Amino acid sequence: MVGVTESWQDDYLHILNPSITERLGCIRHALFDFDGTISTLRQGWEEAMIPVMLEAICGSHPVTPEIEQEVREYVDRSTGILTIEQMRWLVDAVRRHGLAGEPLTAAQYKQIYLDRLLVTVSRRVERVARGETSPSDAMITGAEEFLRALYARGVTLYLASGTDHPYVVREASVLKIDHYFAGGIYGALDATEANNKERIIQRILDEHRLSGRELLVVGDGPVEIREAVARGAIALGMATDEVARSGWNHHKVRRLTSAGADLLAPDFSRVDVLLDILFDRGNSPVGERHARSSA
């Protein structure tokens, strides 16, 4: 068993909440964020969104350091929420600053953002779909192995994202991991908030009558981590350098620490360590099973 007396373990696993070790070993369900947690297909999305917001707020006026800081801080703390919600914030910010006239609608701003982002993302997706890039090279190191290991233990897996639902379904399929998520894949739906992470987490707990310790939430954004902690779930923050697909991103470390993560890891490269910690009170209560082929 991996020792838990040290806060850092070989600089791999950071235990932020030492008392969490008393609650481990009972996980039956696990909810994963997608972008930046599993997939790197949308790596760099922030640098597409931030210019859209700055242009909308400032119009023909020069961007001030204060406005840029405001936008960057908002994008950082809103990582993980529905894109349309971020665009609603933008509508309010345009009105509040009063530099660019009457704002567009949230849906219009979202379309401008997606038009820019998808130039890069679509190329990445198509390279994987054509076999020019392997799925593993478009995911955080060890992600598929970790999903497979949880699935083999009988843990019911869910995928939730602030990215629009059709894109999440398509990208999970291209990465050949969609079959692991027997609990469902939930992307954003602009017409309803039914698929936001707060509601999904609560729904899992309610429908399966779970205690918090039976649900693991894994993500790189503060939204899913805060919602997990608020409901007593186990919160595993993934503070990954998305460009390298592994190793620590210390900005994410600070962000996830502030959000209240119980545990932090830089990637999934040491599946054995993660499983030993998460299930260190014995075998999975729902038993072993063989993972289905991803073919």
Q: Report which secondary-structure segment, H or E, holds 290.
A: none
pTM of the predicted model, to two decimals? 0.86
What type of residue sits at position 216?
Answer: L
Q: What is the DSSP letter of 63?
A: P
Position 290 scores a pLDDT of: 32
Q: Distance between CA 237 and CA 261 in Å, rounded? A: 6
Position 46 scores a pLDDT of: 92
Position 291 scores a pLDDT of: 30
Q: Distance between CA 229 and CA 235 in Å, rounded? A: 6
Contacts with 1 (C-beta within 8 Å, 6 or more apart), sequence order: 276, 280
In the predicted model, what is the mean pLDDT of the chain? 90
Confidence band for 81, pLDDT divided at 50, 70 and 90: confident
Q: Distance between CA 235 and CA 27 in Å, rounded? A: 12
Confidence band for 79, pLDDT divided at 50, 70 and 90: confident
**Based on the number of CB atoms within 10 Å of its own CB, is 136 exposed (0-12), middle (13-18) or buried (19 or more)?**
middle
Cβ neighbours around 58 below 10 Å, total: 18
Cβ neighbours around 217 below 10 Å, total: 30
Confidence band for 125, pLDDT divided at 50, 70 and 90: very high
pLDDT tens digits for range 219-234? 999 999 999 999 999 9
Confidence band for 284, pLDDT divided at 50, 70 and 90: very low
Domains observed in the chain: 14-40+139-279 (3.40.50.1000), 45-130 (no CATH)
Q: Which two tokens stand for residue 111?
A: 């379309």
Asked if residue 77 has pLDDT above 50, the reply is yes
Confidence band for 189, pLDDT divided at 50, 70 and 90: confident
Least confident of 56-70, 75-89, 99-113, 254-268: 75-89
Position 293 scores a pLDDT of: 31
pLDDT tens digits for range 8-36? 445 899 999 999 999 999 999 999 999 99
